[in-house]
Structure 1
């Protein structure tokens, strides 16, 4: 690395020589005048700066005041809007509080109603079960009351028909089927009044003195119809007119039993059951000779049999 030689520092205390002073005297103004000129320029610059600062301050003040004038209405409007919004929020909170209280009340009320409904459903089920028991007992009582009765259906109605005429019809029929029934065997006899006045051949109800006699009579009627091609008709009851009117003999069923017998016959036709009959006021069906006998008690039971494959 080469050796570097530093230059000697400038001596600030060096004064001007007489030769230099002479040169300055020849070519420049006096030193006091130069100093004065410099001071006056500095004073003028400071005055100008102070004027600019004053103008800048005044301008900022004016701008600030104008901005405040513009912002003040906006601030007022914003404040009013904020107050309005706060009021609306307060009202919404109050409304929500009322709604929540109402919902709580409705929830509690719904729980009470649900409890009451459950209690009513339980009570209703008990009542239905009790009603079914009563209906079953009533049905049994009606069946027991009718256990000695049988019906003659589609028998032509005579003019001025009397009970004696009805008794003669039954006695003539009993002779035909070879099961003698006398007047003394008949406890009561009457023709049912129909709801349709145009239907004249309403059933004849015969009440005998013995359930055994009734059962034997029905057995003879069934045997008569099975052994002969010509089934029972009006001439077998002693009629001289409308002799070929078919006659049907059956048990005196209750209204419920009649309905069940009708549905059971429909079941035998639709599902291929071979047997459908009534005995002692009750309805029975059987699929075939090897199937169990089914005692039909309710319509729901028939519906289940319809659904069976």
Structure 2
């Protein structure tokens, strides 16, 4: 084969390679220049990469911008929806909070109204209590005064009475004869007409083993005072043998007999308490006269009349 045909054959082969290179360049375009032949000699055909057209580049640029715009639009829409959602949640929670605040305000207003009503009622009750307290103090003073007057009246109703203590009890006893005998022993001749009534009274303390006292009602206060004065004189004259059971004809062990004023229960309490305080505070004399209790610390000191138990607390 001559040189011309060989050259043509090589060019044909190069043409086929060129077609393959073009096909590959569509996917990976490159600038090709001076590809060597099989024998190492350069080929006279030079391949260059074709420049993209301005329209293609513009389309590619527009497509990227559109994507960016779409993404931005989607992001803006998403943010807008999130913002609206958060706004709705905040509005709903705010409404709930305001609703609760209004409920609390209503409760506070109700409690405030109740508190004001209670204050008014308390103020009114305080005035009523003060009024009742004043009335109570006045009534206490009135009751005390009435009690004192009643005690005086009750004591005056006993002006003709004497109480004789520690006379032994017997089923067949004759108390009138016992009183006549005491008068005879003391030097005062009584008549049966001088004694209106003679009876035993109940004990203030049922557990006390002493006999029940005898209350004698005389015809008038003069007889009563004379009888008592004679008994006191007899006891002063006979200090070693004061009035006792042997003087009224009762045998056995001698037991003292006491003739005292017939006191009201209240005066008896005062008398008993006064004796306790006198012993505690070393007061020497305690006595009863005309239904009143008296106290004296020494023979030369002034006497004190005890009207009620509260007076004893002020003593020193």
Deviates more, 1:116-125 or 1:281-290: 116-125
For residue 190 of structure 2, what is the aligned residue in structure 1? 181
Cα distance, 1:176 vs structure 2: 2.1
**Which structure is richer in relative contact order (CA contacts within 8 A, separation 6 or more)?**
1
The TM-score with structure 2 as length reference comes to: 0.73
3-state SS in 2 of match to 1:284: strand
For residue 87 of structure 2, what is the aligned residue in structure 1? 75
Q: 1:49 to 1:272 in 2, by over 3 A?
A: farther
For residue 247 of structure 2, what is the aligned residue in structure 1? 236
Would the aligned equivalents of 1:150 and 1:206 in 2 still touch at CA under 8 Å? Answer: yes
* Structure possessing the higher radius of gyration over alpha carbons: 2
For residue 262 of structure 1, what is the aligned residue in structure 2? 272
CA RMSD, 1 decimal: 2.9
- Aligned 1:294-309 pairs, distance under 5 A: 294-305=304-315, 308=316
Q: 1:193 to 1:148 in 2, by over 3 A?
A: same
For residue 31 of structure 2, what is the aligned residue in structure 1? none
Cα distance, 1:59 vs structure 2: 3.5
Cα distance, 1:85 vs structure 2: 1.0
Would the aligned equivalents of 1:157 and 1:200 in 2 still touch at CA under 8 Å? Answer: no
3-state SS in 2 of match to 1:159: coil
3-state SS in 1 of match to 2:314: helix
Ranges in structure 2 where 5+ consecutive residues have no aligned partner: 1-54
* Alpha-carbon displacement from aligned partner over 1:17-68 (angstroms, at most 9, x marks no partner): xxxxxxxxxxxxxxxxxxxxxxxxxx99999988776555443332222233
For residue 170 of structure 2, what is the aligned residue in structure 1? 158
Cα distance, 1:200 vs structure 2: 7.6
Q: 1:234 to 1:292 in 2, by over 3 A?
A: same
The TM-score with structure 1 as length reference comes to: 0.75
Cα distance, 1:82 vs structure 2: 1.1
* Alpha-carbon displacement from aligned partner over 1:63-105 (angstroms, at most 9, x marks no partner): 2222333344333222221111111111111111111111111
* Alpha-carbon displacement from aligned partner over 1:196-251 (angstroms, at most 9, x marks no partner): 499682110011123233233333333433442233321112223x4423322211
Cα distance, 1:193 vs structure 2: 3.5
For residue 62 of structure 1, what is the aligned residue in structure 2? 74
For residue 7 of structure 1, what is the aligned residue in structure 2? none
Asked if 1:209 corresponds to 2:212, the answer is: no
Asked if 1:106 corresponds to 2:118, the answer is: yes
